[in-house]
Structure 1
Amino acid sequence: MSKLKYLIVLACLGILIMGATSCANKKDLIYFQPDSLTLDSSFESNAPRLQPGDILTISITADDVRATEPFNQTNVYQAGALQTNNPFIPTYTIDLQGNIVFPKIGEVKLGGKTRLEAMEYLREQVSKYIINPGVNMSIRNFQITVLGEVTKPGTYFIEHDRISLLEALGLAGDMTINGVRKNVLVIREEGGDRNEYRVDLTKRESLKSPVYFLKQNDVVYVEPNDARIQSSKYTQNTSIFVSIAGLIITIVAVIVR
């Protein structure tokens, strides 16, 4: 094959490759690029609040062990019983009015409070019966879902009520190189409505986003970039591209023979 044929074949292959791939800009991949923004992000101002459907594990402690028994309905001082995932610790589901029914006290409204506020409020109620009680509380069904261009998409159960958007992405193995960091979607249910928030993780101001600290049942979605979309199209039509490339090469070879 002459040098001209080689050049034409290489040019055809180059055109095909360029049509199927694209280059990524460094600024599209780096998180929290420098700017003059002064950051002041507070978890407490964005802490998740208890809502209907939340399942709580609650245990009461005190110096007088026997005094706590009516509240715990089990001996929390048994080996491992203070662990929040212990199946013997009773659970309490917040009803549509934001209440739970707690032993000896009755109906207690916890909906709308943060976990720390709920613990303090319940401690005040229990203090009417026990001297200096302690309250342990966790949200049993606190979960978030991460989907899209991440290494390990899925639903993750969180042991505590504090998790940031970055930590959630970390649980999912971080974004793939094809994930759009400038337009991460967070879907949140608030007051019966589903609201959408967009976060640009290439900017430091994303640390002040109202969804930087996630709440129970949040869904995080990382959309694919153009290169990923084009790659998907190319993969689906690989045989067509190969056939066209072969045809072009054959025609060129005949012409320049």
Structure 2
Amino acid sequence: MKKYQNLSLLLLLSFLIFSCASKEKIVYYDNAGNDISNSVQKVNTRIQPDDLLMIIVSALDPNLALPFNLTSTTAVTRGNEAGVGQQSQQLYLVDGNGNIEFPVIGQINVLNRTKEEVIKELKSKISVYINNPIINVRIMNFKVTVQGEVNKPGVHTITSERLTVAEALSLSGDLTIYGNRKNILIMREENGKRIAKRIDITKVDFINSPFYYLKQNDIVYVEPNQTKVNSSAVGPNVSIIISIASLLITIATLIVRK
């Protein structure tokens, strides 16, 4: 009887050892307060090919600004008996060389430029025709992709151009219990090159990384942790594992009976 008790205790201890998880592996910002920079990074989103830009020119006399704005289009909703449409502003599509065709002025290159830089150039050119023009520029298709061990993977298009890694993960329903919080991969295209960075969100110092703020078309990938990898490996071999476990139990029973 005592041998049975010892065997049961050994099995229980083994289960507890392998099932215990370290707090540091799942808690976010574990060292908060120690490594946070006092300065906040400035977000400078740069325009890329295939971006959709909304550019609106305003002036004290609205009629003077009309030639510098794309015409609005009216879309009628299906099933709308009244035939009332919704106005939508036409957008500028940045071509593969980073150019847009602007009314009156002609072709302008906006590749890798910030909104502030584009506004400055447009204001300089339009001021020849209008005194003190007001120009607004906005990227309308700012999006990031989140994949891997999150609850809602997918492509997220946002109205703002300021998106952090934490916000992107929240939009994706946060990480699953199987997500590796210490090795999140971020991939982006910058200056014609693909670059990648891995960050650890269990330590708050990732906030100071240049990858903390995501950029247009970034990809965030949450890889599975070892628990998920092990469970995936076990899946196709369940019958073998059960057979081995049965054999071990039989052997242990024979040993205890002696």
Rate the CA distance shift 1:115–1:22 in 2: closer, same or farther, 3 A: farther
Structure 1 residue 248 displacement after superposition: 3.1
Deviating 4+ runs (over 6 angstroms): none
Counterpart contact for 2:72–2:88, Cα < 8 Å:
no
Q: Is the aligned partner of 1:54 residue 2:56?
A: no
Paired with 1:42 and 1:127, the residues of 2 have a C-alpha distance of: 34
2:107 is paired with a residue whose SS is strand
Counterpart contact for 1:99–1:111, Cα < 8 Å:
yes
1:73 to 67, 70, 79: 70
Q: RMSD of the alignment, in Å?
A: 2.9
For residue 80 of structure 1, what is the aligned residue in structure 2? Answer: none
For residue 106 of structure 2, what is the aligned residue in structure 1? Answer: 106
Paired with 2:251 and 2:12, the residues of 1 have a C-alpha distance of: 14
Structure 1 residue 186 displacement after superposition: 0.8
For residue 130 of structure 2, what is the aligned residue in structure 1? Answer: 130
Q: Greater relative contact order: 1 or 2 (C-alpha under 8 angstroms, separation 6 or more)?
A: 1
Q: Is the aligned partner of 1:214 residue 2:214?
A: yes
Counterpart contact for 2:147–2:153, Cα < 8 Å:
yes
Paired with 1:5 and 1:203, the residues of 2 have a C-alpha distance of: 45
Structure 1 residue 238 displacement after superposition: 2.9
For residue 82 of structure 2, what is the aligned residue in structure 1? Answer: none
Q: Which stretch of structure 1 is more off in the superposition, 32-41 or 148-157?
A: 32-41
1:146 is paired with a residue whose SS is strand
1:111 is paired with a residue whose SS is coil
Counterpart contact for 2:110–2:118, Cα < 8 Å:
yes
1:186 is paired with a residue whose SS is strand
Residues 140-155 of structure 1 correspond to what in structure 2 (within 5 A)?
A: 140-155=140-155
For residue 37 of structure 1, what is the aligned residue in structure 2? Answer: 35
Share of identical aligned residues, percent? 41
2:22 to 11, 21, 25: 25
Runs of 5+ unmatched residues, structure 2: 74-85
Structure 1 residue 218 displacement after superposition: 0.7
For residue 232 of structure 1, what is the aligned residue in structure 2? Answer: 232
Higher strand share: 2
Residues 163-178 of structure 1 correspond to what in structure 2 (within 5 A)?
A: 163-178=163-178
Runs of 5+ unmatched residues, structure 1: 77-85
- Residues 63-110 of structure 1 deviation map (CA, whole Å, 9 limit, x = unaligned): 32222221223259xxxxxxxxx8742221223443211001112222
Q: Is the aligned partner of 1:63 residue 2:63?
A: no
Paired with 2:215 and 2:39, the residues of 1 have a C-alpha distance of: 16
Structure 1 residue 9 displacement after superposition: 6.5
Structure 1 residue 13 displacement after superposition: 7.9
Paired with 1:18 and 1:234, the residues of 2 have a C-alpha distance of: 19
Structure 1 residue 49 displacement after superposition: 0.8
Paired with 2:131 and 2:38, the residues of 1 have a C-alpha distance of: 39
Rate the CA distance shift 1:221–1:73 in 2: closer, same or farther, 3 A: closer
- Residues 94-141 of structure 1 deviation map (CA, whole Å, 9 limit, x = unaligned): 234432110011122222221233234323333332333332322233
Paired with 1:145 and 1:41, the residues of 2 have a C-alpha distance of: 28
TM-score, normalised relative to structure 1: 0.80
For residue 192 of structure 2, what is the aligned residue in structure 1? Answer: 192
Counterpart contact for 1:182–1:200, Cα < 8 Å:
yes
TM-score, normalised relative to structure 2: 0.80
Structure 1 residue 188 displacement after superposition: 1.1
Rate the CA distance shift 1:221–1:209 in 2: closer, same or farther, 3 A: same
Paired with 2:34 and 2:26, the residues of 1 have a C-alpha distance of: 20
Paired with 2:196 and 2:174, the residues of 1 have a C-alpha distance of: 21
Paired with 1:222 and 1:135, the residues of 2 have a C-alpha distance of: 40
